[in-house]
Amino acid sequence: MAKLWVVSQALPRGGASPPRLLALVRRAIRLRHYSRRTEEAYVAWIRRFVRFHGMRHPAQLAEQDVARFLTSLAVERGVSASTQNQALSALLFLYHAVLDRPLGVFRGLVRARQAKRLPVVLTREEVAAVLGAMRRTPQLVAALLYGSGLRLLEALQLRVKDIDARRGEIVVRGGKGDRDRVTMLPAVVVGPLERHLDAVQALHQRDLARGTGHVALPAALGRKFPNAATEWRWQWVFPAGREFVDAATKERRRHHVHETVIQRAFRDAVQRAGIAKRATCHSLRHSFATHLLEDGHDIRTVQELLGHRDVSTTMIYTHVLNRGGRRVRSPADRLVEPGVLAGVPHLGGRLRQRLPLPIPPAQSK
């Protein structure tokens, strides 16, 4: 790769080369405690932006160059509005937080079309079929996604201390937007989860006996409490099967289960259950919210359990409730009621009784 990732050509004291652009971006993101997913997305968009402009440094580009890149995403690449907005956020962050040159007005920018999509929601029977087709850890994770309304990464990043079986609660730490919240722990999951934690604790004891058993800690907690990395309460609820060597500390650590493990297991379970919907792990969270509203719970409660900042985000689930989302019964359903029209054909194709067609009266000549 061409060496153009430096902000300045001037060498710092001691003759060391200056930090490259992407390193500065990562540093600025971590200073603001953005999520790992945000860091990966921003770095990827900045890299694509530089390559789009022939490997020129962003400090040499202006607003019209940013607008041209964003327009190409909408016109030539056909990306969605949310994807274009993510690219715009990455570039705004680059110029404001890294280059210290906030961008002005974008002239001639073509916006991607904002499409309104409804979430994919599974019925209760479909959820039961999918969970029944899963086994072991993926099944337990999927049960938490549906029973607690967790996002996939929120479930995989749970630590032992975040589970309170007696109170029936799960504390989600650093969720989307770096916000904490409390959600329910389904009673049906308590028994399997406790047996799972017994096995995880036995694995942790074996790791400690081998001189490992370390886990990554949030922020600067590891420096404040050096022994916390091996404490049971800080361990992942769903640890990975393999250890890895941390590049910075040289410690052998165990990460949590990777998202793709659960995603593949869920996709296979959907196929085995014979469900034609384009369901993903996130569909279980959508189903959690929809089924709570169907059961009569108020939307503010559902908003808090999901961790939505604005209730308008939660309102999307009112459009996917049974009977069209408005509790309105279709007039077609009344055709098959007793005493209305007994001759309406069944959906299966059989006819009970054909009604005679009305015969118009004979016209006098």
Q: Do 233 and 161 contact (CB within 8 A), yes or no?
A: yes
* Alpha carbon distance 269, 131 (integer Å): 8
- Write the single-letter amino acid at 179: R
Place of tokens 């569909």: 283
- Shortest CA distance to 66 belongs to which of 58, 75, 54? 58
Instruction: Let me know if 308 is a catalytic residue.
Output: yes
- Shortest CA distance to 232 belongs to which of 254, 257, 259, 258? 254
- Shortest CA distance to 288 belongs to which of 310, 262, 308, 271? 308
Instruction: Let me know if 264 is a catalytic residue.
Output: no
From 26, 159, 256, 285, active-site residue: 285
* Alpha carbon distance 98, 58 (integer Å): 11
From 26, 42, 95, 151, active-site residue: 151
The three-class DSSP label of residue 155 is helix
Cross-strand partners of 112: none
Where b means 16+ CB within 10 Å and e means fewer, 59-81 reads eebeeebbbbbbbebbeeeebee
- Shortest CA distance to 156 belongs to which of 133, 168, 177, 140? 140
- Count CB neighbours of 37 within 10 A: 10
80's CB contacts (< 8 A; 6+ apart) are 112, 115
Instruction: Let me know if 124 is a catalytic residue.
Output: no
| DSSP β-ladder status, 181-184 and 169-172 | antiparallel
Q: Do 58 and 4 contact (CB within 8 A), yes or no?
A: no
* Alpha carbon distance 277, 284 (integer Å): 12
Instruction: Let me know if 77 is a catalytic residue.
Output: no
* Alpha carbon distance 158, 234 (integer Å): 9
From 56, 161, 176, 252, active-site residue: 176
Instruction: Let me know if 282 is a catalytic residue.
Output: yes
* Alpha carbon distance 336, 172 (integer Å): 48
* Alpha carbon distance 341, 352 (integer Å): 11
Instruction: Let me know if 151 is a catalytic residue.
Output: yes
Residues tagged active-site: 151, 176, 282, 285, 308, 317
